[in-house]
Amino acid sequence: MRILRWGRWLGDGVEFRHALTYAAFGVRGSGKSTLLEHIAQEFLSGGCPVLDIFGSRDGEGLAWLRSPWVTENDKRVLLLHGDNTNVSSPWDSKPASKYTVDDLQRYDLVISASPLYSSIDVEYSQINKVIDEVYSRVVWRTPAYLLIREAANLLYSRMKVSSDQTLAKAQLTYFTREARHCGFSLGLDTQKLSSIDVDVRITFDYIFFKSLGIYGLPSDLSWLYSFYRPARLQRMPVDMFVLLTGRGSHGVGIFPYHDWHKQAGEDILKAVGVEVDHGELIVETKPARVVGDLQHAQMIQMRQDGFNYREISEALKVSKSTPWTHIHAHNEEVRRTGSCSRCRRAKSPLVDKIVGEGGGLPQDSIKTPTVRP
């Protein structure tokens, strides 16, 4: 990329060798994800691995598979998918839940895209493994670039593992600050600057403005209007941007717009030759304390291992009556149909086993079992 004209220059510039945070803001179709892909290519050419996660349901991250990096330069690719999804393609693939930070030494490009998960719920939940693994990268020589398409998804995803929205937000702020210490450059894409807290925004080293549409700049950055006409910021060519650096320099620049980027409405799976087969949809545990399939299977397993109802409820942080309810519903379904549908979805080895029911329910918590089939 190239800066055509600095509005103010304080001696810095854009660089792609260190663990830095790059954010792109703009409306849909403004070319912000292409810009973040361009930055990813700068890291790839410096020998740094790239992780590409989230993005819209149409799976734009998979467009990498037809880029010259893969078709000509033989960059090693790993596709991450949901636990219940099978992927067949010429590239390596594994469930996101099995991803470890060591994969960044074996692969140049690690891609997790929505079509490789049976639902958005499953994707948001299972991608947390990739986020958590960021903190495990204690030893590193070159930075890795983590491209997060639509950064708001990161927050939704954290809310899958944290019942508290404030806590999820705090985790996100911590993440954007700490990622660099673990050798991760971040590329964050978002449609509205105001959807990103100021706490997170001040950790950005570079903010790229693409076409901002009718929302324009947030009030704390409106001073940029005295350098750049509102009409220019509202609409600009897809290969153009206005850059603001963490140090306070700003200018207008351009980047080479690559042609392998996913087109609107294109069936990208077909275009790159990836086939997916989703197994039965798993019901995830929600923070609202609805018990999901995995937690159900865990209760059955703990019961089988000899824990009593109170120990199970304490260990899994569910109400006192929940283990009793689930164990009885499980046994009942196994007696009636030969297997438990929740355990089947969770791939539990106890899918057709009756577990002990003795011990009874604590007197103060008797209620009608309300287990969904």
Interface ranges with Zn ion (CB under 5 A): 300, 330, 340, 342-343
Helix (H) or strand (E) holding 186: strand 184-190
Residue (44 or 343) nearer to Zn ion, CB? 343
Helix (H) or strand (E) holding 337: helix 322-337
Q: Which among 150, 64, 68, 52 has a CA at the least distance from the CA of 110?
A: 52
Q: How far is the CB of 281 from Zn ion (least distance, A)?
A: 16
The CA–CA distances, whole Å, from 245 to 119, 250, 273 equal 37, 6, 39
Q: How far is the CB of 317 from Zn ion (least distance, A)?
A: 19
Residue (97 or 339) nearer to Zn ion, CB? 339
Residue nearest to Zn ion (CB): 340
SS3 of 161, please? helix
Residues 6+ apart with CB under 8 A from 308: 359
Per DSSP, what are the bridge partners of residue 24? 189, 208
Residue (260 or 324) nearer to Zn ion, CB? 324
Q: How far is the CB of 288 from Zn ion (least distance, A)?
A: 21
Residue (158 or 330) nearer to Zn ion, CB? 330
Q: How far is the CB of 324 from Zn ion (least distance, A)?
A: 14
The Cα 116–Cα 125 span in angstroms is 13
Token pair 């089939």 in the structure block, residue:
373
The Cα 49–Cα 67 span in angstroms is 15
Q: How far is the CB of 291 from Zn ion (least distance, A)?
A: 11
Residue (58 or 333) nearer to Zn ion, CB? 333
Token pair 């750049």 in the structure block, residue:
228
Using only C-alpha atoms, the chain has a radius of gyration, in whole angstroms, of 24
Q: How far is the CB of 285 from Zn ion (least distance, A)?
A: 14
The Cα 12–Cα 135 span in angstroms is 29
Q: How far is the CB of 350 from Zn ion (least distance, A)?
A: 7
Residue (123 or 293) nearer to Zn ion, CB? 293
Residue (93 or 348) nearer to Zn ion, CB? 348
Q: How far is the CB of 300 from Zn ion (least distance, A)?
A: 5
Q: How far is the CB of 188 from Zn ion (least distance, A)?
A: 40
Residues 6+ apart with CB under 8 A from 368: none
Q: What is the DSSP track for 48-110?
A: --EEEEE--TT-GGGGGGGSHHHHTS---EEEEE-TTEEEESSSEEEEGGG--TTHHHH-SEE
Residue (303 or 330) nearer to Zn ion, CB? 330
Upper half-sphere CA count for residue 69 (Cβ side, 13 Å): 29
Residue (221 or 355) nearer to Zn ion, CB? 355
> Do 242 and 224 touch, CB atoms closer than 8 A?
yes
